[in-house]
Amino acid sequence: MHVQNLFQPFEVRFVKVDECPVKAHKNTFIELVYILEGKGIYHIDEHQFKYGPENLFLTMPMHMHFTEVSETTSFVFIRFNNIYLNAQKAQKSYSNLGDWIEKLEYIFHNSNHLQGCILRNMSDKPLVRAVIKAIVIEYQSQQTMHKELVQQLLNTLLMVVARNISLHLPEKSKVTQNTSLDIIHYIHLNIYNSEKLKAESIASRFHISLNYISEFFKKHTNENLQQYIINYKLALVEIRLTHSDMRLNEIASELGFTDDSHLTKMFKKYKGIPPSEYRRSTAVTAQ
């Protein structure tokens, strides 16, 4: 199956077609697909969704997808990768989201349960359409400061996408019913802050005895608390090894490992192979 790569932080494409511009394929980047006009069927992995004007779809890396066009369709493809997302955290070029990028990563990570168009808040549809049209105009016009303006518009769009996805994530307010889910939510949102991941901090946050927090978590999730944190960190390590050029010491520092040797030891213990070998194997698979 064809695999598409993205060799720049973000890219915008506008096409008007009578048939799918690309047959079944996978991407190594995150892609937002907006329908300006037209009708058809959008295939994502094993699922099929009817699409129409003002629909917005999100596809994550390595998800198989393609469209069946039944009426001439105007697509807007907005693609971005870890270079763009990591720049937001680092406050470098392409950056103005700050800490929100960590929330976005959690939201995107939990988007696999979504079905069809991700715009669930109907009042956001006019805003999204206006932002999409402005992105296309600026990207095509190449006027002075068009890159900076497109970046601002893209980040606005990401915030709206995050808001719509977050509407369908577990609500932190339902502590009495969903405390175990809330703890998982808390771990995901604070995965880059080692202090907040200590058992003492989690116990205090959810008003559970320090002596009982691990037992409580295992009782409701069938998984050890610290084991869950390690597994989630290693899942993020896998994403970076597969979809970024980050060095091992950079990944270790970002995710709270002592150093790259510590990360290598933990990765090999739980995944069976060193991270360098894992990176090589995923690179071969993607070819």
> What domains are defined for the chain?
2-166 (2.60.120.280), 175-286 (1.10.10.60)
Q: Mean pLDDT for the chain?
A: 83
pLDDT attached to residue 175: 39
For 164-208, write each residue's pLDDT tens digit.
877 765 544 333 336 777 888 788 888 889 999 999 999 999 889
Percent of the chain with pLDDT over 70: 82
Q: Does the pLDDT at position 79 exceed 50?
A: yes
User: Residue 222 has what pLDDT?
Assistant: 79
Q: What is the pLDDT of residue 252?
A: 94
**More confident site: 67 or 244:** 67
Whether residue 21 has pLDDT greater than 90: no
Q: What is the per-residue pLDDT for 273?
A: 94
* Residue type for position 46: E
Question: Is the model more confident about 63 or about 172?
Answer: 63
pLDDT confidence of residue 93: 47
**pLDDT of 280 above 70:** yes
Better pLDDT: 91 or 41: 41
What is the pLDDT, as a whole number, of residue 278?
A: 92
Q: What is the model's pLDDT at position 173?
A: 36
Average pLDDT over residues 43-56: 91
Task: For 104-147, write each residue's pLDDT tens digit.
Answer: 666 666 555 456 898 988 899 999 999 999 998 888 887 888 87
* pLDDT above 60: residue 234: yes
Pick the more confident residue, 277 or 244. Answer: 277
Indicate whether 55 pLDDT > 70.
yes
pTM here is: 0.59
Instruction: Tell me the average pLDDT across 83-92.
Output: 61
